[in-house]
């Protein structure tokens, strides 16, 4: 029963744990393949992309093979009426291979070869461009702690989470933004899903390479002031984390998203220290302890 309640609350979150959108859209007729195919080709998985290109390539060559067969015996050294010979001749033509064993011998076949060569050039150009665009898309390799803590820092109740860079490079001008989403009723009794920006102790870092403890002080001005875990559950509270920065390797802006629900919030605990020094004095970060935390005394506020 407890697991089912947690699953129900997880389904209601706006952003999934690893950044994907978790809201169904109804009442709008929008097909990305019809209105925005380029964006669709950039966002589908690599497996689906390769499968789509492969299937499209086979279909295009099959169509041209049928067109070659429709013109009669127009391919030299090909068996008349043989689909496979016409298909492989089409593959050689579209890919500009030209082994020389088969070649067009009629005006009709030469006309088709001309058209197919132009189409093949366009397909190759577009496929190469989309392939390069997919490879060149900047992606952040940023990890977030599995839980978010409410602990004490300098004697004040503080919300805390961890962020780390998995790559062996710098992220320049890194910024973190926290937003709290909660259910509320207006004075007129209308239901609203409200967003509250949360001020951080430090929201930016000029050079980010190791680990970052993101903190928010829970004072009288905080939307979390006086909130208990039960209240967070009742309000279906969700904490959104947005990370942005410039990857020094590709000099492009990268971003990452994460979210936490009440079941992923731990009270009265602190993170285990992951920064140490080696015997020769170098700094070392232990990612195996990145998500670990220990309990502390109760927080009173």
Domain count for the chain:
2
Q: Sorting pLDDT into bands at 50, 70 and 90, what band is 2?
A: very low
The tokens of 38 are what?
Answer: 């380029």
- Whether residues 184 and 155 fall in one domain: yes
> Pick from 101, 136, 171: which residue ends a domain?
136
84 assigned to some structural domain: yes
Quote the mean pLDDT of the chain: 84
- Whether residues 119 and 149 fall in one domain: no
- Alpha helical stretches, state H, 36-78: 37-43, 46-70
pTM: 0.73
265 assigned to some structural domain: yes
> Pick from 70, 104, 136: which residue ends a domain?
136
- Whether residues 73 and 174 fall in one domain: no
- Whether residues 48 and 127 fall in one domain: yes
Q: What is the pLDDT of residues 118-177, one digit of tens each?
A: 998 888 888 888 888 888 878 888 889 999 999 888 888 899 999 988 888 888 999 999
- Whether residues 196 and 255 fall in one domain: yes
| DSSP assignment string, 99-161 | -SSSEE-SHHHHHHHHHHHHHHHHHHHHHHHHHHHHHH-----EEE-SSEEEEEETTEEEEEE
> Pick from 136, 155, 180: which residue ends a domain?
136
183 neighbors 220 (Cβ within 8 angstroms): no
Q: Sorting pLDDT into bands at 50, 70 and 90, what band is 6?
A: very low
Q: Which structural domain range is residue 166 located in?
A: 140-295
């Amino acid at each position: 029963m407890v697991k089912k309640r947690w699953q129900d609350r997880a389904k209601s979150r706006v952003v999934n744990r690893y950044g994907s959108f978790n809201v169904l859209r109804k009442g709008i007729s929008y097909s990305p393949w019809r209105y925005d195919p380029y964006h669709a080709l950039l966002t589908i998985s690599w497996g689906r992309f390769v499968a789509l290109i492969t299937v499209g390539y086979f279909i295009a060559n099959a169509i041209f093979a049928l067109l070659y067969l429709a013109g009669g015996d127009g391919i030299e050294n090909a068996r008349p009426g043989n689909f496979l010979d016409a298909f492989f001749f089409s593959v050689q033509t579209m890919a500009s291979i030209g082994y020389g064993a088969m070649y067009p011998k009629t005006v009709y076949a030469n006309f088709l070869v001309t058209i197919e060569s132009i189409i093949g050039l366009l397909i190759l150009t577009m496929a190469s461009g989309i392939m390069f665009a997919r490879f060149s898309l900047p992606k952040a390799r940023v990890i977030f702690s599995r839980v978010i803590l409410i602990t004490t820092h300098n004697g004040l109740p503080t919300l805390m989470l961890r962020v780390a860079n998995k790559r062996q490079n710098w992220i320049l001008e890194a910024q973190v933004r926290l937003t709290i989403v909660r259910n509320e009723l207006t004075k007129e009794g209308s239901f609203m899903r409200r967003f509250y920006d949360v001020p951080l102790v430090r929201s930016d870092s000029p050079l980010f390479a190791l680990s970052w403890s993101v903190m928010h002080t829970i004072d009288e001005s905080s939307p979390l002031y006086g909130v208990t875990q039960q209240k967070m559950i009742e309000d279906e509270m969700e904490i959104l984390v947005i990370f942005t920065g410039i990857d020094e390797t590709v000099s492009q802006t990268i971003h990452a998203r994460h979210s936490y629900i009440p079941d992923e919030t731990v009270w009265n605990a602190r993170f285990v220290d992951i920064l140490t020094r080696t015997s020769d004095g170098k700094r070392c970060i232990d990612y195996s302890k990145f998500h670990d935390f220990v309990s502390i005394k109760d927080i009173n506020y």
